Each structure stands twice: as structure tokens, then as C-alpha cells.
Structure 1
Amino acid sequence: MSCLNARARKLKETLTEKLLFGNEPTPELLAILTVYFVQGILGLARLAISFFLKDELGLSPAQTAALLGVAAIPWTIKPLFGFLSDGLPIAGYRRRPYLILAGGLGTAAWIALATWVHNGWTATLAILVTSLSVAMSDVIVDSLVVERVRHEDLENAGSLQALTWGTSALGGIITAYLSGWLLQQFSPQTLFWIVATFPLLVSAVAGLIAEEPLHAIEISEAQPLGIREQLRHLWEGMRQKSIWLPTLFIFIWQATPTADSALFYFTTNELGFEPEFLGRVRLVTSIAALIGVGIYQRFLRAVPFRVILGWSTVFASTLGMTTLLLVTHANRAIGIDDRWFSLGDSLILTVMGQIAFMPVLVLSARLCPPGVEATFFALMMSIWNLAGLLSHESGALLTQLLGITDTQFDRLWLLVIIANLTTLLPLPFLRWLPAAEPTLPETPAAIEFSEPALQPVASSQ
């Protein structure tokens, strides 16, 4: 019996170390990972939405880009959800009811897309609500992650973020190919019905959150002070140079125009990529995201943020120019098939993007003051998402100005060049990022800044 117990303990230790990156398995961790997994698995409808907007609603590339930008609005007001979660308990609980509400909203919105959405305006509203559902649940689990991260030692720094984002990527992998294959077999509305079941998982695991209910007297007496304290902590945090400078860098870095919507129309209308093949591309990018998480977790956790973000930006911009070969059909002249070229390009660019994204998550989480984790982390991530909204809207404006439509792609090459070159704009401001890994400061001002050190990642390990 003792031998069996020893083997069981050994197996648990191995699984904890290898599968969970050293994080102790608990019901709450299961709930957290389930929410992130659902975020990834909702990608099953991503292609369905794109084809729904393009083919069934007849929207142009610029209109689609603008709509997708507007749909990101809930992610730019995440601090509001943080305030609600931190300062307005429901039935005495700060976390569980909001997860239940988020799941219900998500299911209702996907059902709406499957039934009564028949024009751009109603599509925008329904997609806004699906985004609201995910953003709200994301704030809740982010707050739980941040609370745990504050107690990590430097040896395990970033392990929980790597695990959660890896779980999200795993959900994406499971549904990536299916997203195209199912769309080849069924209508977008059928996929919306299928996806409507997933947010219910978020509601189902809410009870696993380790949370003690507040008494009615505690809620009525403490909330006004709690909200004032949240605002004070937020103001004290954001006025710190060590927070607003990195935040401004991230904003500039993420706000540059994107050509994604125009490229989707080009690959489907000009190159004739079917939903099934685009599902393969999504499978490749989901695997690439996991590879990026693994590379960061294994090799780059100790590398300064400046080095990772600086060099990944340069590499991504340079490699992004290879898309010119596809949009000008030059890849055919050198004997590379459109499909193989698209797969390889997506793989490399996604790995680079995920490597760059991981240190942003780690830095944002480790700067959060205690007591307002949900609100503060949500504020920093909402700034990131506001930049993403501007990226979509500026891309939509450029698409319109360049005369790119669902059939006219003569100037798509110029949009690709502009989109890639503008990603280099934040490089002169690398010194706004911390010079080294923060050591769990009590106050954000404890992070030290010095002159930039842009050097190859390999030489910094």
C-alpha cells in the first residue's frame, strides 16, 4: 500500500511539474483553466463570423474591419468589470455570480447570431455581447491569476500565465481545424448554435472558485469605502512613471494599422482558400501559439522585457514583409504554392507574436497593487485592447482610402507595407520598459529604469 501511495505521489508531482508548470492542482485552478480553455474553444466560430459577414451580410473589407474593431469595445472597458467585481458583490460574492452572468450572456448572444441577426447593425450588437461575455469572465480569472502571481518567487515567475495562455491555445488547437471543416459542411448559423453551449461551462465552474461570502452588513458598510480605496490605489499606481511609461509603449506598439481583414478577403476571393483550408491555417497558428508559450517559458523568462519586445518587433516586421510575395503572386514565380506559403508565414509570425505577448502579461500582473488586482490588471489590459481597436479602425480607414474592396486588391501590397513599417514606430521608446525583471515590488515605483539595451536575445541568456 505504501508503495502505491509513493507512486501516486510521484505521479502527482510529475504531472504538477510538467503539465501544470509547478502549479498545485486545486478545484479553483481547474475553474480558472476551464475559463481560459473556453476562450480558446470559442475560436470555433471565428471563421464562421468572417464568412457570415462577408457572404451572408455582404459587408466590404473596410466594413468588416470597422465592425470587428467596434466589437472590441468591451475589452477596452475591462476596468468597469473590475470595479463591479471588486466593489459590488452579488448575493455576498465578488467572483462567482459574475462568471455565471458572463456565461449566460455569451450563450444568449450566440443564439441571437444563429437566429435573428440579418444585417450589419444587429450583427454588431450580437458580436458586442459575445465580446462582453468573454471580457467579463476574463477579468474575473485574471484577478484570481494576479492574486496568485503576487506570491510567486522569481524561479516560478510567469509559470501561471504560461499555463493559462497555453490552456487557451490548447482550446484553439482542438477547434482550429474543425472551425473550417464544419463550416464546409454546415451553415455559419449551425456553428453559432454549437458555440452557444460553451459559455455554459463558464457558469458551471463558478462554484469551484474559493470564495467566502460577505455578510450583508459588511457589504453595506464597506462598499463605499472600498470603491474610494480602489480609485485611490488606481490613481497612485497609474501616476507612477514605472507604470505609465511601459503602458504607453504597449499602446503605441499595439495601435498600428492592421491589414488582417483585407487579407482575409484576398485569400478567400482572390486565392480561393476554402473554409476547410483556413481551418488548417488556424490549427497551425494555434500550435504556433503553444510553441511561443513554450519557448518563452523554457528560454526567455529571465531575458529583459526590452530585449524580447525590441527584437521580436524587428523580426516580426521584417518577416511580415514576406506577405508581399503572396499578395503580388511572386511566390508562384519562385515555385512556392499559395497554400504552403500561407501556412509557413502564419506559423512563424504567430510564434513571434506570442513570445512578445508573454512578457507584457507578466509585467502587467506583477505591477498590480494588492486589493485592486481585478481592476488594475483590467485597466492595463483594456489599454492594450483600446490600442487593438484603433489598429482595426485605422486599418479599415486605410483599406477604404486605398480603394481595396472584395474584388479589387491592386493596392493591397501598399497596405501590407504600411502595416509592417508602422510596427517599428515604438522602437525609439524602448527605454520606457523596465531594464530588468521586476522583483515583486511593494510599490510600482520600485522598478528601476536605465538606458536601453537592444541586443540579440541569444546573447542575453
Structure 2
Amino acid sequence: MNVSTSGFATVKNSLTGKVLFGHEPSPELIAILLVYFVQGILGLARLAVSFFLKDDLGLSPAEVSALVGFAALPWMVKPLFGFISDGMPIGGYRRRPYLILSGFLGALAWVALATVVNSAWSAMGAIALSSLSIAFSDVIVDSIVVERARKESVGDAGSLQSLCWGATAVGGILTAYLSGFLLQHFSTRTVFGITATFPLIVSLVAWLITESPTPEQANWTVVRQQLGQLRQAVSQKAIWMPTVFLFLWQATPTAESAFFFFTTNELGFDPEFLGRVRLVTSLASLLGVWMFQRFLRNVPYRTIFGWSTVISAALGLTTLLLVTHANRALGISDRWFSIGDNLVLTVMGQIAFMPVLVLAARLCPAGVEATLFALLMSVVNLAGLLSYESGALLMHWMGITERNFSNLALLVVITNLSTLLPLPLLGWLPPATEQPDGSAGSVPRLPTVPVALDFDPSASKHLEQPFMPDLVTELVNTANREAEESILLSED
């Protein structure tokens, strides 16, 4: 009995120290980790959504691009979710009820996709509802984590965030390949039905979150204070000028949906192979994060934005070899070329996008870090919507359809070269990696940024889908363990 008890204690201590970074495995901690795990595992339906829009609904590349862009709207108003949660408690509780509600909304969205959705408009509504569910739950669980993280010692700072985002990474890894494997053997609606069960986990574990009732009036006082500080911050030239640059840099058109149609309809890539590519690019993105952290973290913004934009545009043009089938003349098969090209482009794309997050974090002055960071990333998300819609317009004008790819090469050239347009405004960026007040800032958690269908030829932009958090965007934060960012309002 003593040996058994001792063995159990040893296993528990090892789990607590090595896996949970010193945090006791309490029911609340398990609940928090499961919420993040669900965010990652929802990637199970990523490919299914792409094929559903293309094959089941028969949408054109331009229509898919336009639909995906509008479905990302909830990610552009995440600060609003923070205001609602802080200022409008339900039954005196600001976290638990909203977490329960978001889980039910997510399940409802996926059930609808699995059963009654039969048109583009209903698909956009269901996908947007799923997007809203994830965005709102992300706001709530981030706020809970930040509240708990404030109690950590200096030596343990960031450990809870790293643990949580590691849980999302595990979910993303598990579904990177399975997303294609399941779709190879089951229908898209079956995959949606399976996915619908996961948001319910969020609703169930929300009851394990420890929360005390809070006075409603006090919350509205915090909201008013934050709004005043926010107005003062965004009026500073040192903040709005870099923000405008980031907006323009992300708003150039994308050819993502057209390229997805090309790889599936023209090249005949099946879902199982696309799942393999997702796994490879997920690992490649992690490599890009490591390279940025190891070699480029302290490079001035103007330098890294300038060179990464130019190099990414040049590398993006290598996609022309696949579009024109020139790779076959070189003796490289379509599949091997796609894997290699996506690997290189993803590494470079991650390196190019990392400064966006660092800059956004360091633009935030003390007192409104969380709210202003959420606002800045919402601006980037809005730029992503314009990128999709302008890309859809180009596809329509150029006559690119689900079977006509004669102008795809020209579209790839236009979308890649257009990323160079904001470069004359590089002077609007800070000359060094400092905050407006001159102090060094810490890198926050990489937010959920809306993107994209698989096989993005312009990988320097949009690293994630709006309705499904992906592996890479969550792993960034593990590399930045000192980060303490919440997209919810800070509380005194």
C-alpha cells in the first residue's frame, strides 16, 4: 500500500513538474486545458469545409474567397466580446455562462453544416456562427488564464500560458493528418457531425471554472476607464502610423482559394494527401518560429519587414512552376514539388508574420496593453477580409473558375507583387524594437488571425483560418513564455 501510494505520488510529482510546469492538476486547470485543446482539434473539419464549399455547394473560387472573408467578421470585433463579458455579467458571472453559451453555439453551427446547410448563404451563416463561438470562447478563456497567471511567481511567469497553448498545439497536431484521412473515407457532413461533439466539451467543463459573483456597476466603471485610455492611446502618431502600415501590408489580394481549386481539380490532390501537407507545413511553421526567435528577434522592424516582404514575394513566384507544369519538365512530380514549395513558403511566411505580432505588442502603452493589442489585431483581421474580397474580385474579373485556370499564373504574379506596394511606407514603422514610451515590450500570445484555405501560394500572409485555429499560431506562444496577453479588458 505504501509502495503504491509512493509510486502514485512520484508519478503525480513528475506530471506536475515536467508536463504541467509546476501547476497542480486541479479540475479547473483540466477544464481550461480542454478548452484550448478543443480550439486545436476543431481543425479536424478544416479540409472538410474547403471541399464542402467547392464540391457539395459547387461554389467558384471567387465565391469561396468572398464567403471565407465575411465568415471571419467575428474575429474583427474580439475587443467587443471583452466589453460584453466585463460589463454584462449573466447572473453575476462574467466568464462561466459565456463559455457555456459559446460551446452550444459552436455545436449548433457544426450540426447545421452536417444536416440542413444547402446554400452559400446558409453556409456562410453557419461558418460565421462557428467563428463567433471560437472567438468568444477564446476571449473568455484567455481572460481566465491571465487572471490566474497574475498569481504566478516571477520565476513561473508565462508557464500557464505556455501550458494552455501547448494543449491547443496537441489538438492541432492530432488533426493535421486526420483531417484529410477522415475525409478520404467519409463524407464532409459526417466529418462535420463528428466535429460538432467537441464544442460541447467546452460547455461541460465550463462548470468546473471557479468564479465568484461580481458587482455589475464596478465592471462598467472599468469599461469606461479603458475606453478613455484607449482613445488617448490611438491618437498618438507613434501608434496609428505603424497600424496603418500593418493594415496595408495585410490587405493586398490573395489567390488562396483559386490555388486550392487548382490543386484539387487540376492536379487531382486528394484529401489524404492534403492532410499530409498540413502536417508538414505545421512543422515547417514551427521551424519558422524558431528561426525568428533564434536569429531575427532583435532585428529592427524596418529591416525585417522590408527584406521578408521582398524575399516572400520572390519565393511566392516559385508557385508559377507548379501552375505552368514546369516542375514536370524538371523531373519533379506535382506532389513532391507541392510539399517542398509549401515547406519553404511556410517557413518564410511565419518569419515574415512574426514581426507583426511583436510590433503590435510593443506599440501598446502601459494601462491598455490588452485592449489595444486586441484592437490592433482586429485591424489586421479586417485587412485579411479585404484581402479575400479583393482576391475574389480579381478572380471574377480574370475569369478563373473551378475548371478554368488559364489566368491563374497572372493572378499569382499580381498577388505576390502587390505585397511590395506598402514598402514605400516603411518609414512609418519605429526605427527600433521599442515601445512608444521607449521601453522594451514582451511578445504576446499569437492571436487567431483569419486566413485561409490550404495551399496558400502567398504564404507571407494569413497563416490561419478564421473558423479553425491552427497549430502554428498557438505554438508561437510557447516560444515566448514570458508573455502575458489577454484580449479581454484588464482589471484593476
- Which of the numbers 306, 311, 315 marks the counterpart of 1:315? 311
| Distance in 1 separating the partners of 2:153 and 2:361 | 14
| Distance in 1 separating the partners of 2:150 and 2:422 | 29
| Distance in 1 separating the partners of 2:351 and 2:146 | 20
Q: Are 2:414 and 1:418 aligned?
A: yes
Match of 1:100 in 2: 100
| Distance in 2 separating the partners of 1:45 and 1:369 | 39
Within 5 Å, give how 1:181-200 maps onto structure 2.
181-200=181-200
Residue deviations 1:358-383, cap 9 Å, x none?
A: 34334434555677665433322211
| Distance in 2 separating the partners of 1:83 and 1:70 | 22
Question: Which amino acid in the other structure matches residue 53 of structure 1?
Answer: L
Match of 2:247 in 1: 251
> Contact 1:166 / 1:293 at 8 angstroms: preserved in 2?
no
- For residue 297 of structure 1, report the CA deviation from its aligned partner: 4.1
Q: Are 2:393 and 1:397 aligned?
A: yes
> Contact 2:70 / 2:385 at 8 angstroms: preserved in 1?
yes
| Distance in 2 separating the partners of 1:249 and 1:345 | 28
> Contact 1:162 / 1:358 at 8 angstroms: preserved in 2?
no
Question: Which amino acid in the other structure matches residue 257 of structure 2?
Answer: S
Partner SS, residue 90 of structure 1: coil
Partner SS, residue 197 of structure 2: coil
- For residue 246 of structure 1, report the CA deviation from its aligned partner: 2.5
Q: Are 2:332 and 1:336 aligned?
A: yes
> Contact 1:38 / 1:199 at 8 angstroms: preserved in 2?
yes
Match of 2:79 in 1: 79
Q: Are 2:360 and 1:364 aligned?
A: yes
Residue deviations 1:89-144, cap 9 Å, x none?
A: 22222222222221111011000100110111111111110111111122234445
- Which of the numbers 320, 325, 349 marks the counterpart of 1:324? 320
> Contact 1:140 / 1:374 at 8 angstroms: preserved in 2?
no
| Distance in 2 separating the partners of 1:161 and 1:434 | 28
Match of 1:454 in 2: none
| Distance in 2 separating the partners of 1:298 and 1:314 | 21
- Which of the numbers 344, 349, 353 marks the counterpart of 2:349? 353
Question: Which amino acid in the other structure matches residue 328 of structure 1?
Answer: T
The answer for unaligned runs of 5 or more in structure 2 is 441-492
| Distance in 2 separating the partners of 1:31 and 1:433 | 41
- Which of the numbers 262, 267, 280 marks the counterpart of 1:284? 280
| Distance in 1 separating the partners of 2:159 and 2:306 | 22
Question: Which amino acid in the other structure matches residue 323 of structure 1?
Answer: T
- Which of the numbers 232, 235, 238 marks the counterpart of 1:239? 235
Match of 1:293 in 2: 289
| Distance in 2 separating the partners of 1:201 and 1:241 | 45
> Contact 1:80 / 1:375 at 8 angstroms: preserved in 2?
no
| Distance in 2 separating the partners of 1:125 and 1:178 | 26
Change (3 A) 1:209 1:381: farther
- For residue 50 of structure 1, report the CA deviation from its aligned partner: 1.2
> Contact 2:365 / 2:437 at 8 angstroms: preserved in 1?
no
Which 10-residue stretch deviates more, 282-291 or 28-37?
28-37
| Distance in 1 separating the partners of 2:256 and 2:85 | 34
Residue deviations 1:200-228, cap 9 Å, x none?
A: 233344355564431xxx21x32443332
Q: Are 2:225 and 1:229 aligned?
A: yes
Change (3 A) 1:119 1:7: closer
Partner SS, residue 414 of structure 1: helix
Match of 2:125 in 1: 125
| Distance in 2 separating the partners of 1:351 and 1:200 | 34
> Contact 1:149 / 1:366 at 8 angstroms: preserved in 2?
no
> Contact 1:266 / 1:409 at 8 angstroms: preserved in 2?
yes
Match of 1:53 in 2: 53
| Distance in 1 separating the partners of 2:421 and 2:152 | 34
Question: Which amino acid in the other structure matches residue 122 of structure 1?
Answer: S
| Distance in 2 separating the partners of 1:291 and 1:151 | 32
Match of 1:173 in 2: 173
The answer for unaligned runs of 5 or more in structure 1 is 449-461
Q: Are 2:378 and 1:382 aligned?
A: yes
Residue deviations 1:270-325, cap 9 Å, x none?
A: 11111111111111122222223333444444444444433332222111111000
| Distance in 2 separating the partners of 1:102 and 1:233 | 29
- Which of the numbers 428, 433, 439 marks the counterpart of 1:432? 428
Instruction: Tell me the TM-score normalised to structure 2 length.
Output: 0.78
Equivalent residue pairs, number: 435
| Distance in 1 separating the partners of 2:23 and 2:352 | 27
Q: CA RMSD in A?
A: 3.3
> Contact 2:73 / 2:128 at 8 angstroms: preserved in 1?
yes
Match of 2:456 in 1: none
| Distance in 2 separating the partners of 1:59 and 1:192 | 18
Change (3 A) 1:149 1:314: farther
> Contact 1:288 / 1:350 at 8 angstroms: preserved in 2?
yes
Change (3 A) 1:79 1:325: same
Match of 2:267 in 1: 271
Partner SS, residue 406 of structure 2: coil
| Distance in 2 separating the partners of 1:294 and 1:210 | 35
Question: Which amino acid in the other structure matches residue 139 of structure 2?
Answer: V
Question: Which amino acid in the other structure matches residue 105 of structure 1?
Answer: L
Partner SS, residue 77 of structure 1: helix
| Distance in 2 separating the partners of 1:188 and 1:111 | 12
Change (3 A) 1:168 1:253: farther
Residue deviations 1:13-40, cap 9 Å, x none?
A: 5556xxx6xx867756655554343222
> Contact 1:139 / 1:374 at 8 angstroms: preserved in 2?
no
Change (3 A) 1:361 1:29: farther
| Distance in 1 separating the partners of 2:166 and 2:430 | 25
- For residue 406 of structure 1, report the CA deviation from its aligned partner: 0.7
| Distance in 2 separating the partners of 1:434 and 1:129 | 38
Change (3 A) 1:239 1:288: same
| Distance in 1 separating the partners of 2:397 and 2:86 | 44
Change (3 A) 1:96 1:430: farther
Which 10-residue stretch deviates more, 106-115 or 92-101?
92-101
Change (3 A) 1:79 1:10: closer
